[in-house]
Amino acid sequence: MRLGVAAKAKPETLKMTGAFLIHIRRFINHPWLGAIAKISLKNLAKRLRQRNSAIAPPVDKKNPNNTPHHSNLLNSMNWLYFSLAAATFESLRDVFSKIVTNKGDRPLDEYLVAWGLRAFTLIIYIPWLLLSPEPIPDIGKDFWWALLADATLSTVGGILYMRALRLGDLSLTVPLMGFSPLFLVLASPFTLGELPNNIQIISISLICLGAYFLNLKPKENNYFAPLLSIINTQSSRLMIIVAALWALTTSLDKIGAKNSSPLVFSAALYFCTALMMLPIVVVFSPNWFFQLRTNFSKLVLLGSLKAVDMWCHVTAVGLTVAANSVAVRQTSLLMGVGFGYLIFKEKNIRTRFFGSAIMVLGICLLTFS
């Protein structure tokens, strides 16, 4: 019955619509009624302009078109500058860490460097914390277990990270940290019950493809050699383990920051990590106290680079969406490849740079997905 009514009503609706359009056309073409309509429309447009001018800010006489000033554009792009600065200082920290563990008459071991990086960053970090608007916030119930778990994973990851830098090429090991967001996505079906979407699958493919090119040698005919190189090379193997640990600590960082504040949790994390690393340094680092005294300035410089890196990153996140800052900060992977060529004269730099660029593209897609 309803279909029959709709079928009968359809021609009538078309006739009414046609008649309505004819009346509108006659109304517009009428000499008097058309003129009245035009005047009414003009008055309506005038009132709308007056209303908008009352709401809008006053127009600058020197800039009547309200085009953005150069200073405003600079202020809106401050997050980009801070993000690039954070990436630069992060890359310089990796370069200097490799220098102090490989160069000189008495290179430092990874235990002392990993401990010194946390301890001296904490010393510089404390004044920043005390000068913050809320130096001691309310501590939530999940703060302490998140801190203990995060510090334990960070202790292991920090030592393995320094060992990977000491043993391997900078242009080969640092880009493998791009696997960290990949591990987060791969773990989401088990932790959050979420399956990767199409963009995330493409991002994962790009990261894996970039890692393949990192280990690709131009004159090698074996297509499986890059994959075997990742597994067989100790520095690459260690850095992938670190990337997996960092993926776990990301969730713990969020829990700790929500139950206190980002600054307080970071300071507490550095304190606990340095405290956990100290017995390891005493046991496994020979003449650690003598090395600490003779290389005090180097460790202070390492801590300063880390502290400035964190300050730039926190400032950038405060000025924009966190995903933007995180994506730009991934350029540190490309900087690491460049520094590896310029400072350490590492080889196969073209394929490694190409692989790193593909990984950065995958990480950026993953970040915005």
pLDDT digits (tens, 9 = 90+) for 99-120: 999 876 678 899 999 999 999 9
Residue type, 24: I
Coil, helix or strand at residue 11: helix
Q: What is the SS3 assignment for 63?
A: strand
Higher pLDDT, 233 or 2: 233
Token output for 68: 């953005």
Which of 275, 251, 265, 250 minimizes the C-alpha distance to 139? 265
Mean pLDDT for 63-78 is: 53
Phi-psi map region of 187: left, alpha, beta (phi>0 left; psi -120 to 50 alpha)? alpha
* pLDDT (average), residues 49-60: 48
- pLDDT exceeds 60 at position 185: yes
Rounded to whole angstroms, how far apart are CA atoms 295 and 162?
17
Q: Note the pLDDT tens digit of each residue in 145-165.
A: 999 999 999 999 999 999 999
Asked if the model's pLDDT at residue 366 lies above 50, the reply is yes
Q: Express each pLDDT in 309-360 by its tens digit.
A: 888 887 887 777 767 777 788 888 889 999 999 999 998 888 889 989 998 8
Residue matched to tokens 């690039």: 84
pLDDT tops 60 at residue 222: yes
Average pLDDT score, the chain: 78
What is the Cβ-side half-sphere exposure of residue 176, based on CA atoms within 13 angstroms? 29
Tell me how far apart the alpha carbons of residues 130 and 263 are, in angstroms, rounded to a whole number: 10
Give me the half-sphere count of Cα atoms (radius 13 Å) on the Cβ side of residue 15. Answer: 5
Helix (H) or strand (E) holding 252: helix 234-258
